[in-house]
Amino acid sequence: MMNVLVAMSGGVDSSVAAALLRDQGHDVTGVTLRLWGGQIDSGCCSVGDVEDARRVAAQLDVPHYVFNLAEQFDDSVVGPYVEAHAQGQTPNPCVECNRSIKFGVLLGRAAALGFDAVATGHHARVRRARDGDLRLLRGVDAAKDQSYVLYMLGQHELARVMLPIGELTKAEVRAHATRLGLRTASKPESMDVCFVARDERRRFLDDRAPGRPGDVVDMGGRLVAHHNGIAHFTVGQRRGLGVAAGERRYVVDVDAVSATVTIGRREDLLRTEIPVRDLVWVGAPARGRDLTVQVRAHGQPAPGRVVAPDRIVMHEPHPRVASGQVVALYDRDELVGGGIAA
């Protein structure tokens, strides 16, 4: 049996993860991360979520602590999120939180405190293959699969990570929580960025990085509108363009240097290549062979292959991926690697 530190966000998934590990005989300690102390305190790990996690730990009769990582979170997640938007990119802060905080700072702190592993409530699975390598697989519940946001985990991290609910559907997780009488059994899921209140993203970004006004142009370079800042646009966006047209228009490009937003038809978005940066592999590199490429957390995977450390070629034209978004690579249900769209 192992000494496991369970990251308890105050939601049903991490609550059941702690319960399952306890029932398997592991020595379980719960920890909730205090990440955001700003004016908006919503989403996961808010004040209410910390209290829910504490009470669930008490129900399970396991120790519970709170780690204040607000400074690290601001430096590693919030700051880069604002800066990326100011550069015309579309970052995924939950991915950066996993990379820097949950499987960065927390994993390191757990090791320093003598824990054998860190567990979370992510819907994904870790399996050891016949060659001894660890594999990262999609969660059993395809609708709730979260392997996409874990693409950065390599062999070193996977050796010390446990994902107890990956074999369960969401319905089974809630049913288990109900059987145990856990207060989080029927708690709604948190779907928003945890440090930005619903419908407040524009104000949040404007307060921290005031935008530079610029032009909205069509594919021919003709001026069609003005804007107050590129942070409010993302490649592929259709709504909120401030342009009246007879047919749908989409953001095709965002140029941070000139503060220019280019719009066009959907077919103008289609590309056969995805430029990427910071490409990493879970195990052995899978360059040069057919994979499926997923560009949104619950997007439809499409066939393609990695032909260079900075380039993915799709088998069929695919809508352009916004710079800053995660590009995850799969071999059937196995996540083999990923990177960031350049």
Q: How many domains does the chain have?
A: 3
Q: Within this chain, do residues 50 and 168 fall inside the same structural domain, yes or no?
A: yes
The DSSP line for 129-195 is -TTS-EEEEE-SSGGG--GGGGTT--HHHHTTEE-TTTTS-HHHHHHHHHHHT-TTTTPPPP-S-TT
**Separation CA 32–CA 52 (nearest Å):** 10
**Separation CA 115–CA 26 (nearest Å):** 11
Phi and psi at residue 219, in whole multiples of 5°? Answer: -65, -20
Query: In the annotation, is 44 catalytic?
Result: no
Residues of the chain with pLDDT below 70 are: 37-46, 191-192, 198, 245
Q: Which of 153, 188, 147 is nearest to 165 (CA)?
A: 147
Active-site hit among 44, 45, 94, 97: 97
Query: In the annotation, is 97 catalytic?
Result: yes
Q: Is residue 291 part of a domain?
A: yes
Query: What pLDDT is stored for residue 217 in this prediction?
Result: 95
Bridge partners, residue 253, by sequence:
262
Q: Which of 239, 296, 300, 319 is nearest to 94 (CA)?
A: 296
**Separation CA 95–CA 295 (nearest Å):** 13
Query: What pLDDT is stored for residue 38 in this prediction?
Result: 58
**Residue pointed to by tokens 């856990």:** 182
The single-letter code of the amino acid at 50 is V
**Separation CA 211–CA 141 (nearest Å):** 41
Q: Within this chain, do residues 243 and 95 fall inside the same structural domain, yes or no?
A: no
Q: Is residue 220 part of a domain?
A: yes
Q: Is residue 26 part of a domain?
A: yes
Q: Within this chain, do residues 174 and 51 fall inside the same structural domain, yes or no?
A: yes
Q: Give the residue numbers spanning the domain of 273.
A: 269-341
Query: What pLDDT is stored for residue 195 in this prediction?
Result: 81
Residues in contact with 79: Cβ distance below 8 Å, sequence separation at least 6, in sequence order: none
Query: What pLDDT is stored for residue 199 in this prediction?
Result: 74
The single-letter code of the amino acid at 49 is D
Q: Within this chain, do residues 22 and 106 fall inside the same structural domain, yes or no?
A: yes
Q: Is residue 33 part of a domain?
A: yes
Query: What pLDDT is stored for residue 203 in this prediction?
Result: 87
pLDDT in tens, 185-199: 999 887 667 888 767
Query: What pLDDT is stored for residue 40 in this prediction?
Result: 52
Q: Within this chain, do residues 235 and 248 fall inside the same structural domain, yes or no?
A: yes
**What's the chain's Rg over C-alpha atoms?**
21
**How many C-beta atoms surround the C-beta of residue 71 within 10 A?**
10
pLDDT in tens, 305-338: 999 999 999 999 999 999 999 999 999 999 999 9
Query: What pLDDT is stored for residue 121 in this prediction?
Result: 97
pLDDT in tens, 211-255: 889 999 999 999 999 999 999 899 999 988 878 767 889 999 999
**Separation CA 3–CA 60 (nearest Å):** 16
